[in-house]
Chain A
Amino acid sequence: MVTEDKRSWGMVIDTDKCNGCSGCVTACQVENNIPLNDQNKFERGRVMSWIRIERYWEGEFPDVKARFIPILCQHCANAPCEPVCPVYATYHNDEGLNIQVYNRCVGTRYCANGCPYIVRFFNYWEPAWPEDLRNHLNPDVTIRSRGIMEKCSFCIQRIKRGSRKAKEENRELQDGEIKPACQEACSTNAIVFGDLNDPNSEVSKLSKSESDRKYTLMPQLNTDPNVVYLATIDPLKYKDLGEKAKSNEH
């Protein structure tokens, strides 16, 4: 186990396991007090969802495959959003997280332009919830006012709570003890969260062992993301192999 200040929180998303159910999106919405996205917001292009499922169609009809990639803040080690912020509202902390400090933000929206993954969201209005949902808000998460940026925090409230608990119980933080809301909600265990600097954690094993499937988004921009994707296994590629194996058996 690595000490606290040497951690580098990261995530591995296995797109082969993702079935596009959007459970993570909903869980994130509830956990992080994200305002509801109504029709007006969709029409005006001001939807907020810290994690979203990008859906792509592959192939020509009738051999069409739906492909899903959950996209959230990549917590880049070399984040393009950070140097452009004039007030240090977004910066890198020593646990490898790309932090958004709501209090400092003045809403220049420069970080959002810098972000190639378009995972930063601006509060165009003061957030509002229906009356009966007001008591469902998460007390651990700040409600963001109008005029500031927000984005995925890797559920920093859970990270803090977990680390605090481990400290109180005077023990090391265990791998898998901290789960962000999206991971918890994922029905197929496509999302794995953990410490990339701990060689024994599941994330580092996954991101290293299956290196032929491993990729990061937009490597040409040299952002060095902490979110690693595992490519979809193409069944067509293995179909011939399987048939060959079958014919060999006979």
Chain B
Amino acid sequence: MSTNEHHMEWPPSDPKVVKEELFSSTKKGSSSLKTISKFLGVLSVLGLVGLIGKFLIDGGDQTQWGYVAAILAFIFSVTGGAPMVAIAPFIAKANWARPISRMAHVIGASAVIVNIIIMIPLLWMLPPLVVEGARRRSIWFEAPVYSPHFWDFLSLIMLAIAGLGLLYVSALPDFAIMRDNSEGFRKKIGKFLAGGFVGSTVQWSTLRMRVGVMSTLYFFIYIFVHVVISIDFSLSMVPGWRDAIYPMAHAMGGIQGGVALVIILAWIMRKYGNYENYLNINVFWALGRLMFATSLMWIYFFYSAFIVFWYGKSMSDNAWLDLLIRGPMVYVFILGMLFSFVFPWWWLIWNKVRNSINGPVIGAFIALIGVFFERIRIYVPAWSVDPKLIHDKWLTVIPGTLYPDIWDILLILGSISFVVLTVIFISRIIPFIGVWEVQQFNLLAKPVKYIKAHGIRVAKPD
């Protein structure tokens, strides 16, 4: 068995080189990045203007807030879904995901501020639990009146803390490197954040345990937040909509978008950060498979719900179809289906496409747009329902199509820009490819040649 015989892209085996190369991206900043950041900053401010404008103009009318809810659901679910790309392989002890797990964690922590800013006015607009003396249907049953608002907000805060915590815990050794190898403010930040990490055996094993616990915790919180927010912000606002798989389908859509985000970020890092050796074809191939699998899972969850409504034919089943499928957002539904499932599926099903660098990226872009359409398709009609009907057994008046106004568009652009800006900001501090992750990756995996076949020898520590 000989190593590195064929010209395969592979991380350099010298830990020092790895450290140098990976930290270089935090230090050098091109002028175009600055221009882009300024542009995104302007858009972010406009987004805030959009939110305030929306609140001043439509503050009394709940039915106008569908797009705001949709963009919140989109941002929190796809950014929150990204860490799953790191968590699942971590728990399954899969080595391939190590070079991209930092990016996944960064995306998970990138939308914390935006989520909370958009959440506050939305909570304001949420109809109360008790309307005209009667309790509307919600998952909070007999809980106190403040329930949905309080718990929704708390759950989002929990997700934010878990996301930041996961990023922090998994970046700890890199902070220590930063402390030891840099000057000025980076050294200060490193010293502050590394918390005395010197890489002793105890510290390493604690670190592994901490990442494990945070990953598991993050997963459960992510699911919990999806259950709570997807139900309170859409399902329980439509009378008669009872859909047990909906929170899971919603979460699956989020994970699908999260995988897409990781692929896109990895592609950008490879192309503009010159990390071809780290983010090699193996990573994109595995991510492409993940993208394909999550797209299939999403359509399966969607279809499980759809077929039951379609067959059931009861009044509430028909109302669901009228509102969410063939109703006001029918074109968005068709676009969502095409972009979330049909195109990614037919694109990523090919081995050649998955086993390439650009193939998974195109699939990821398509799927991300699909998730965005899907959120609009669900949230906009759900919020358009007349709040007076909220006690009915099923929906009798299907609202008309709601188009976004200027404030909605500003908010959508601004909030997405702000998330991207946050990611750029984080990239100035910590390396997007975990140094210690790559160093461990190198310890555990090696390209080898066995008789005539090329392969990788992977160590499986218990």
- A–B in direct contact per CB < 8 Å: yes
Stretch at the interface among A20-28, A193-201, A216-224: A216-224
- The answer on a CB contact under 8 Å between B314 and A221 is yes
Checking B313, B316, B393 against A78 with a beta-carbon cut-off of 8 angstroms, the contacting residue is B313
- The answer on a CB contact under 8 Å between A80 and B313 is yes
- The answer on a CB contact under 8 Å between B315 and A221 is yes
Cβ-based interface call for B394 (8 A) = yes
- The answer on a CB contact under 8 Å between A220 and B314 is yes
Nearest-Cβ distance from residue A224 to partner chain B, whole angstroms: 10
User: Which of A78, A83, A219, A221 gathers most chain B CB within 10 Å?
Assistant: A221
Give the chain A neighbours of B272 by CB distance below 8 A. none
- Smallest CB gap from A220: residue in B: B315
- Smallest CB gap from A84: residue in B: B311
Give the chain A neighbours of B314 by CB distance below 8 A. 220-222
Give the chain A neighbours of B316 by CB distance below 8 A. 220
Provide the bound-state CA to CA distance between A219 and B315, in Å: 8
User: Which of A78, A83, A220, A222 gathers most chain B CB within 10 Å?
Assistant: A222
| Size of the chain A interface, CB-CB below 8 angstroms | 7
- The answer on a CB contact under 8 Å between A222 and B313 is yes
Cβ-based interface call for B63 (8 A) = no
Tell me the residues in window 96-151 of chain A with beta carbons closer than 8 Å to chain B beta carbons. none
Provide the bound-state CA to CA distance between A73 and B14, in Å: 81
Give the chain A neighbours of B318 by CB distance below 8 A. 222
Nearest-Cβ distance from residue A171 to partner chain B, whole angstroms: 40
Nearest-Cβ distance from residue B398 to partner chain A, whole angstroms: 15
Provide the bound-state CA to CA distance between A83 and B311, in Å: 9
Provide the bound-state CA to CA distance between A78 and B315, in Å: 12
Contact flags A199-230 to B (C-beta < 8 A → 1, else 0): 00000000000000000000111100000000
Provide the bound-state CA to CA distance between A30 and B314, in Å: 35
Provide the bound-state CA to CA distance between A222 and B393, in Å: 13
Nearest-Cβ distance from residue A220 to partner chain B, whole angstroms: 5
Provide the bound-state CA to CA distance between A166 and B316, in Å: 44
Nearest-Cβ distance from residue A62 to partner chain B, whole angstroms: 33
Give the chain B neighbours of A221 by CB distance below 8 A. 314-315
- The answer on a CB contact under 8 Å between B313 and A220 is no
Give the chain A neighbours of B317 by CB distance below 8 A. 222
- The answer on a CB contact under 8 Å between A220 and B393 is yes
Give the chain B neighbours of A78 by CB distance below 8 A. 313
Contact flags B311-328 to A (C-beta < 8 A → 1, else 0): 101111110000000000
Provide the bound-state CA to CA distance between A97 and B325, in Å: 32
Give the chain B neighbours of A219 by CB distance below 8 A. 315
Give the chain A neighbours of B394 by CB distance below 8 A. 220
- Smallest CB gap from A219: residue in B: B315
Tell me the residues in window 372-415 of chain B with beta carbons closer than 8 Å to chain A beta carbons. 393-394
- The answer on a CB contact under 8 Å between B315 and A222 is yes
Nearest-Cβ distance from residue A218 to partner chain B, whole angstroms: 9
Provide the bound-state CA to CA distance between A13 and B225, in Å: 52
Contact flags B291-335 to A (C-beta < 8 A → 1, else 0): 000000000000000000001011111100000000000000000
Nearest-Cβ distance from residue A123 to partner chain B, whole angstroms: 28
Tell me the residues in window 68-95 of chain A with beta carbons closer than 8 Å to chain B beta carbons. 78, 80, 83
- Smallest CB gap from B311: residue in A: A83
Provide the bound-state CA to CA distance between A80 and B318, in Å: 14
Provide the bound-state CA to CA distance between A222 and B311, in Å: 12
Give the chain A neighbours of B313 by CB distance below 8 A. 78, 80, 222
Provide the bound-state CA to CA distance between A220 and B240, in Å: 10
Provide the bound-state CA to CA distance between A220 and B393, in Å: 8
- Smallest CB gap from B240: residue in A: A220
Contact flags A220-246 to B (C-beta < 8 A → 1, else 0): 111000000000000000000000000
Provide the bound-state CA to CA distance between A118 and B383, in Å: 38
Give the chain B neighbours of A83 by CB distance below 8 A. 311
Tell me the residues in window 170-201 of chain B with beta carbons closer than 8 Å to chain A beta carbons. none
Besides A78-B313, A220-B394, A221-B315, 8 other A-B contacts (C-beta < 8 A): A83-B311, A219-B315, A220-B315, A220-B393, A221-B314, A222-B314, A222-B317, A222-B318
* Interface set of A (CB-CB < 8 Å, partner B): 78, 80, 83, 219-222
Closest CB pairs A-B (n = 9)? A221-B314, A222-B315, A222-B314, A220-B315, A222-B313, A220-B314, A220-B393, A78-B313, A222-B318
Cβ contacts A to B, 10 pairs, < 8 Å: A80-B313, A83-B311, A219-B315, A220-B314, A220-B393, A221-B314, A221-B315, A222-B313, A222-B317, A222-B318
